[in-house]
A and B are shown apart, each in its own frame.
Chain A
C-alpha cells in the first residue's frame, strides 16, 4: 500500500519529520509552494507539533543555498551586501552561509525539535529503502532516520515518498493537484 497523503488542512500529528524541501519552500518567498507551506508551519507551531530532523537537513540546505543557480537569483542588493562576487573566498562563503543557516535555525527554533543522528542501523535501513522503494539514497536516509525513532509522519513535497508503503506523507496533495 503506497503512502497515505495528507492535505495540510488535515488534523495535525503530534510528531513530524521535516524534509529540507519544506524548509526551503517556507524560507524562500518566491518558491511555488511557499504560501501553503508557511500556513502549514504556522498551524504546526500553534498545534505544538514536535519536529524531528536529521543532520542531513542542514547539509542539504547548505547545498541548496550554495548552488550557483540559487545565488544568481538573489537580489543585487543582497549579493552586494554579502559580496557574493567573491564566492571563492572562504570568508565570503562563511558570512553568507552563516546568515542562511541562521534563518533555518530560526525557523526550526519555533518548535520543540529533535535531531536524530545517523547510525549504522539507519544506514543499513536506508539501503533497504533504496532497494525496496527506489528512493534516492538521501531520501532513504531521511525515511530510515524518521522510522528509527518511530516517526512515520513525514512532511515532504518529494514525489518519490509516495511509493513508500504505509507512510503518512504530508504534501498537501500537490502532486494530485498538478495532474
Chain B
C-alpha cells in the first residue's frame, strides 16, 4: 500500500501509519551528496591545530582539536539551549553514570530495526 507525495512514496501499514519511504533516485543522490558535503565540512572544522599561545607544551603525539566559537553564538541562543531538556522529576543522585540498565536489554543484542 503506498501513497504518493511528489517524488516520495510512503509505504504505510494497515492503519495508515508511514513505515517506510521510497525516494526518486535523483533525490536520493542529492541526499547522499548533501550528507557527504556535511561530513566533509565537519571534518574540516575539526582539523587539529597547534597549541594555543598560552597552552603548555604539547607532546608530539598529543591530539588537541581546536574549535572556534560558533559564529551564531549569542547570549540569546545560549539561553535558549540552557534548560532546554525538561524532566518531569529530578534524577536520583548518582543515577546518571551508573550502569544499571542491563535489565532493559539483557542479551546486549542490537535490534535490526525491523
A residues near B (Cβ < 8 Å) are 14-15, 21, 24, 26-32, 34, 38, 41-42, 45-46, 50, 60, 63-70, 73-75, 78, 87-91, 100, 103, 106-117, 119, 121, 138, 148-150
Contacts and interface: CB of A to CB of B under 8 A. Distances in A.
B69 A111 contact: yes
Contact of B83 (A38, A88, A113, A150): A38
Given A103-B85, A110-B78, A149-B62, A31 B56 contact: no
A68 B101 contact: yes
A52 B39 CA distance: 23
A107 B52 contact: no
B89 to A, nearest CB: 6
Contacts of B95: 67, 69
A110 B55 contact: no
A148 B62 contact: yes
Contact of B65 (A87, A107, A115): A115
Looking at chain B's contact residues, is the secondary structure mostly helix, strand, loop, or mixed?
A: loop
B69 A30 contact: no
A114 B83 contact: no
Interface of B: 46, 51-52, 54-56, 58-59, 61-70, 72-73, 75, 77-79, 81-92, 95-97, 99, 101, 104-105, 110-113
Contact of B82 (A27, A68, A74): A27
Contacts of A15: 54-55
A32 B83 CA distance: 12
B82 A41 contact: yes
B88 A60 contact: no
12 contacts: A14-B54, A15-B54, A26-B83, A29-B87, A63-B99, A67-B96, A73-B87, A88-B105, A91-B113, A103-B81, A116-B63, A149-B55
B110 A90 contact: yes
Contacts of B54: 14-15
B82 A107 contact: yes
B67 A115 contact: yes
A119 B91 contact: no
Contacts of A90: 110-113
A101 B63 CA distance: 22
Given A31-B91, A70-B87, A75-B88, A114 B67 contact: yes
A179 B63 CA distance: 40
Given A67-B95, A117-B64, A149-B62, A110 B85 contact: no
A47 to B, nearest CB: 13
Nearest to B87: A73
B75 to A, nearest CB: 7
